[in-house]
A and B are shown apart, each in its own frame.
Chain A
Amino acid sequence: MSETVLQQIDQVVKGNDIVLFMKGTPDFPQCGFSQRVAGILSSYDIPFAAVNILLDENVRQGIKDYSDWPTIPQLYVKGEFIGGCDIVTEMQENGELAELLAPLKKEA
Chain B
Amino acid sequence: MTPTPEEVAELVRQGIPGAEVDVRLFSGHDHFEMEVVSAAFTGKSRIAQHQMVYATLGDKMKEAIHALALKTSIPKE
Contacts and interface: CB of A to CB of B under 8 A. Distances in A.
Interface of A: 33, 68-71, 81-87, 90
A87 B47 contact: yes
Interface of B: 46-47, 50-51, 54, 61-62, 67-71
Given A86-B69, A86-B70, A70 B47 contact: no
A11 to B, nearest CB: 21
B54 A70 contact: yes
Given A70-B54, A70-B61, A83-B46, 17 more contacts: A69-B47, A69-B51, A69-B54, A70-B62, A71-B67, A81-B47, A83-B47, A83-B50, A84-B50, A85-B69, A86-B50, A86-B69, A86-B70, A86-B71, A87-B47, A90-B46, A90-B71
Grouping DSSP codes into helix (H, G, I), strand (E, B) and loop, the A interface class, with mixed when no group exceeds half, is mixed
Grouping DSSP codes into helix (H, G, I), strand (E, B) and loop, the B interface class, with mixed when no group exceeds half, is helix
A90 B50 CA distance: 13
B53 to A, nearest CB: 11
18 contacts: A68-B51, A69-B54, A70-B54, A70-B61, A70-B62, A71-B67, A71-B68, A81-B47, A82-B47, A83-B46, A83-B47, A84-B50, A86-B50, A86-B69, A86-B70, A86-B71, A87-B47, A90-B46
A33 B70 CA distance: 13
B46 A87 contact: yes
Contacts of B46: 83, 87, 90
Nearest to B34: A86
